[in-house]
Structure 1
């Protein structure tokens, strides 16, 4: 545990133009005990050529190719061959700060009960500024995800929960994965430092998640982890009553001319008060 190996997993599909920026942020880590596995998920662009350049720069970079299967299967493929005790997924269009690995490893050394370590984050690209997320708790996690994909966990915990769920081909695989790891216990630590930089683009997997796909994915997670949702949110009857109350409240609001006018003013003229 003195200098545990960290395996950084970088799936890439049609992100070759950003890949070098992500890998440079890995190379600049102050903590030296890492390997970085680039997973080409059947990408039609020049991902392989870019990856080969980085393999020549440092032998800690590794590369594998697989047929396209989606983000979950790409991460699983990389983690399967990973030799590190700790895993850090990093999407090919994002970046990490130079101290992220050293700070996270220090936290794991302090607390054997830790399961997940993440940090503060900033957006860059089409939108800039701090990425403000709710504080972690199981109750909050049952409502929505607040831990981005680029967080540390133990490979043994990935094995125990069966890895990332490949059925979630439309997204929210991170949310399901954190639920799977944490619902039966374990500590979570958020570093009080910005070490993750999340790129905002005009088109992304999250933005392309339409209502039908989101409904499928959410229902899948709700059924798979019904034990967590019932434990943290109450009985099924209670949940349905909350949904019914929210629907009724929304219907009442939509019948209010003042409420509709306020929405129109905000959407089209940027006026937040009426």
Structure 2
């Protein structure tokens, strides 16, 4: 079987304490023709020390330092110096199954219409053997990606796809840059495929960049994606409006449930005197 080189790109910022496990999962791959580029994105921790230990252990590991620029910038920097025909991004706190490449590489080799291959995901917190949630994405093309990101960031894709779209959007520093990247790739005619096996392990940290994005930047990041690829949403206009008004209704219903809850009413009663006092003493008086 043809065995093209796979370039695994591992950006790292303040995750040196997880890096060993991630790189071990790369080292354990049954598919042997890979290189792993560890990109130190200006991290102030022990990333460089750990990375160089792995470089000394196996020459397939490579180390790159750059000033902090965010995940998109780090991935682009690693891919820029990569030698592989296929690219696999891997965050420094996540892990892949030992047969990940063995299972996914042949899919790209057998079907030239495929630009991306992904798989099922298990979520874990501390112990990779104790998973808390299973993710089973679906779909084959851009239409499945418009409203939900069906592709995890750690999906295998052709380097030519990265070149076609000009890399990851480095202006997206608040998250969802991988979602935008997959839309940019698939709207050019590339399909994707989901391998129905749990081959990727995502660390669900209590405080993570993804949680930060969903909590504080979900609407703005999504608006950016919609505007950047507006021709797709216009093409899917009726469904786009259905999704929009469904979400507006869900938001309104959620607000009403909160306002009608006993906790809300009690809280409103408790804070009412303070609001009255605030108006009396802190609001400037208007001169007649």
Please indicate the TM-score interval, normalised by the length of the shorter structure.
0.7 to 0.9
Structure 2 equivalent of residue 269 of structure 1: none
SS of residue paired to 1:9: strand
SS of residue paired to 2:135: coil
Change in 2 beyond 3 A, CA 1:249/1:54:
closer
Residue among 115, 135, 154 paired with 1:132: 135
Structure 2 equivalent of residue 17 of structure 1: 17
Q: Distance in 2 between matches of 1:253 and 1:210?
A: 17
Shift of 1:245: 6.4
SS of residue paired to 1:131: strand
Shift of 1:183: 1.2
Structure 2 equivalent of residue 170 of structure 1: 174
Change in 2 beyond 3 A, CA 1:253/1:210:
closer
Shift of 1:208: 1.2
Q: What are the equivalent positions in structure 2 for 1:1-274 lying under 5 Å apart?
A: 2-125=2-125, 128-137=131-140, 138-209=142-213, 213-231=217-235, 233-234=236-237, 239=240, 243-244=244-245, 247=248, 251=252, 255=256, 260=260
Mean Cα deviation higher: 116-125 or 133-142: 133-142
Change in 2 beyond 3 A, CA 1:215/1:248:
closer
Change in 2 beyond 3 A, CA 1:255/1:207:
closer
Q: Following superposition, which runs of at least 4 residues in structure 1 exceed 6 angstroms of deviation?
A: none
Shift of 1:252: 6.1
1:188-237 Cα offsets, whole Å, 9 max, x none, are: 11112111000011100011126552222111111110011122x316xx
Q: Distance in 1 between matches of 2:7 and 2:156?
A: 10
Shift of 1:250: 5.2
Shift of 1:22: 0.3
Contact 2:39 2:63 in 1 (8 A): yes
Q: Distance in 2 between matches of 1:113 and 1:249?
A: 38
Shift of 1:239: 4.3
Shift of 1:248: 5.2
TM-score of the pair, normalised by structure 2: 0.83
Q: Distance in 1 between matches of 2:99 and 2:125?
A: 22
Mean Cα deviation higher: 77-86 or 214-223: 214-223
TM-score of the pair, normalised by structure 1: 0.87
Contact 2:124 2:133 in 1 (8 A): no
Q: Distance in 1 between matches of 2:104 and 2:244?
A: 39
Shift of 1:249: 6.7
SS of residue paired to 2:209: coil
Shift of 1:106: 1.1
The Cα RMSD (Å) is 2.5
Q: Distance in 2 between matches of 1:28 and 1:79?
A: 22
Larger radius of gyration: 2
Q: Distance in 2 between matches of 1:218 and 1:128?
A: 29
